Amino acid sequence: MTTTTAAQHTPAPETGSQGPGALPLPERAAEALVLAGGLGTIVSAFMSWTWTSDFPGDLTVYGYPAGLQIIALVAGALTLLFGLGRRHIRGLGWLNPARSANPVFLAALAAFVVTWFSALAIAIDLGGLVNLDPGAYVAAAAGLIAVLGALGLPHEGTNVKAYFTKADHIPRAALPAPWAQRVIITLCAALALVAFSYGIGIDDDDSETFIGFALLVIFAAWALNAAGLFERFSELNGRHKGFATGMAFLAAVAFPFTQSDDHNANLGVNILIFGTVALGLNIVVGLTGLLDLGYVAFLGVGAYAAALVSGSQYSSIHIQFPFWAAVLTGMAASLVFGVLIGAPTLRLRGDYLAIVTLGFGEIFRIAVNNLDGSSGPDVTNGPNGISNIPDLNLFGFNFGNAHDLGGFTIGRFANYFFLMLLFTAIVVFVFKRAADSRIGRSWVAIREDETAATAMGINGFRVKLIAFALGATLAGLAGTVSAHVTYSVVPTPYQFAGAAPPNSAFLLAAVVLGGMGTVGGPILGAVLLYLIPEKLGFLQNYELLAFGIALILLMRFRPEGIIPNRRRQLEFHETGQLDVPEDGLPAGTVGVTKAEA
């Protein structure tokens, strides 16, 4: 953590010299435009943007921001703060330690994109520019002024593209006292909770506000990364891993208390189920390098096994296990299927293994669809599935009833959210311990080069079978909760693609999008892939097209995923900067080549 490179000691570039891509503006004038644009965006949020309340969010009130106005207000504040931070105004210099124009430009671009999107959305939805009030014009003008000012700031590089990259010379941070580091971690966890709660709380029919929120998150995260703040925060997490994990868990626990609608808690519990299954798939794909295209079948095995012993009147065996026994039954059933499928197929590699796992997924869906007593034995009730699964009752606590806790009403889905959060924590613990163990290192060796790993004495078949079985077991664990949350289990969701997530395609996309081999990557991928279709209803018929385009762009510009694993990042970027200081090289190290690593 204390090692530095020569690049870190290189002084920051002179702020008086402009790069070839900068506009011909004096630096002071450019800074003034950035600050004026940010301030103007903030002011515009307190003005009326349209005369009618027909547009979502009611943007007609002066002095009371709502909807897109709140998002523009945050974007303007970021622009103002990064603009002041570039001059290292007392107390704000930490925002832009390299005094780079890049994060200022990206923050200004966030304000520009949000305000112009808002103005265009109002004009298109309501039928013309005549529906814009003065506040919308002020917001659009302020966003444009901020971007023009940022483009006039001096920067390193030969063209405008340089504004979108991270500064080359970011100095190491002078870390505060340990207690202050913990305060920073706590505040960041609280900020993440506020952002997630706001995003998930946007009405499902208010797609305009959610798009504006998504644009703000993308460009704000881009700006923070360009300023090197993600690296510094990751270094703090590395110094206080246990505390950071605890704060993240507490922030998740606090989520249901921030929502007045239990529907949002339903989204939360389904995201946790999706994320937990993606973590299990991450063992198979991310750590071991086995392409599994039928993984969702193990979720279905766990769900059906739990449903059969749940006491439902539609269960073919008519027995009811305690929940802990139902959980073990679902996990054991998935484990057995994982071993039965893995034992004869894991001697295959690459595309051949992918085809076999894809076939297994389809075989499972077709089998449970036909086990209805007419085309096969009466086990799963065929296409009708197993319905009326009773709610859990643990130690007298009925998960189907609302409960009052400290003045807050905790609904049915919030109850299951807490239960699934506990299971997610268990899965994260298992994943981390397994990845850091001897068997985890064997998985990575198999992923990198199975032939070389076998030559070094690793039993490739046994190691891959353990990964397959463990991943299947974790999926079965999530399936037991999924069966009770949804009240029923039907064959439709357990297919490769086409149904709402989780299906195999979306699970694999969550792992690749978030970052293979990491803990946070699949969970973040699950959040994005579950929440975006839920909030953007007009994409319902184009989900696969939209996510296909997103994955293409990701593979082009960030193939290692949003939250990269260090080893994979070095593989994809020969001279790239390390965004996430995980195990290995010191945080804050920049300009490290693959050979040097």
Which residue, chain included where needed, has tokens 């039993």? 459
- Report d(CA 588, CA 591) in Å as an integer: 10
Number of domains composing the chain: 2
State yes or no: pLDDT of 393 exceeds 60: yes
Percent of the chain whose pLDDT exceeds 70: 86
pTM for this prediction: 0.83
Confidence class for position 39, pLDDT limits 50, 70, 90: very high
Which residue, chain included where needed, has tokens 């989900």? 543
Q: What is the mean pLDDT of the chain?
A: 82
Confidence class for position 571, pLDDT limits 50, 70, 90: low
Pairing of the two strands 408-410 and 403-405: antiparallel
What pLDDT is recorded for position 25? 66
Evaluate whether residue 256 is within a structural domain.
Answer: no
The residue range of the domain holding 339 is 267-563
Confidence class for position 597, pLDDT limits 50, 70, 90: very low
- Report d(CA 90, CA 99) in Å as an integer: 14
What pLDDT is recorded for position 570? 62
| Shared domain check, 71 and 127 | yes
| Shared domain check, 275 and 305 | yes
CATH of residue 453: 1.10.3470
Which of 195, 220, 249 marks a domain boundary? Answer: 249
- Structure letter (DSSP) for residue 380: S
Helix (H) or strand (E) holding 410: strand 408-410
What pLDDT is recorded for position 529? 84
| Shared domain check, 412 and 347 | yes
Q: What is the pLDDT of residues 225-284, one digit of tens each?
A: 888 888 888 888 888 888 888 899 999 999 988 887 788 888 889 999 999 999 999 998
Q: Which range has the worst mean pLDDT, 8-17, 401-410, 431-440, 534-543? A: 8-17
State yes or no: pLDDT of 494 exceeds 80: yes
Please give the structure tokens belonging to residue 543: 């989900």
| Shared domain check, 388 and 336 | yes
State yes or no: pLDDT of 152 exceeds 60: yes
Q: What is the pLDDT of residues 318-347, one digit of tens each?
A: 788 888 888 899 999 999 998 988 888 888
| Shared domain check, 335 and 466 | yes
Instruction: Work out the average pLDDT over 381-405.
Output: 82
> How many C-beta atoms lie closer than 10 Å to residue 68's C-beta?
30
Q: Which range has the worst mean pLDDT, 89-103, 223-237, 450-464? A: 89-103
Contact (Cβ atoms closer than 8 angstroms) between residue 457 and residue 316: no
| Shared domain check, 236 and 286 | no
| Shared domain check, 272 and 242 | no
SS3 489: strand
| Shared domain check, 282 and 245 | no
What pLDDT is recorded for position 147? 92
| Shared domain check, 339 and 240 | no
Higher pLDDT, 398 or 279: 279
| Shared domain check, 229 and 356 | no
> How many C-beta atoms lie closer than 10 Å to residue 11's C-beta?
7
**Cross-strand partners of 403:** 410
The amino acid sitting at 192 is: A
Contact (Cβ atoms closer than 8 angstroms) between residue 507 and residue 277: yes
State yes or no: pLDDT of 590 exceeds 60: no
- Which of the residue ranges 393-397, 444-448, 545-549 has the most confident prediction, judged by mean pLDDT? 444-448
State yes or no: pLDDT of 24 exceeds 70: no
Contact (Cβ atoms closer than 8 angstroms) between residue 7 and residue 241: no
What pLDDT is recorded for position 594? 37
First to last CA, the chain: 15
| Shared domain check, 429 and 468 | yes
Evaluate whether residue 593 is within a structural domain.
Answer: no
Higher pLDDT, 451 or 405: 451
Evaluate whether residue 441 is within a structural domain.
Answer: yes
Q: What is the pLDDT of residues 170-201, one digit of tens each?
A: 777 677 788 888 898 999 999 999 999 998 88
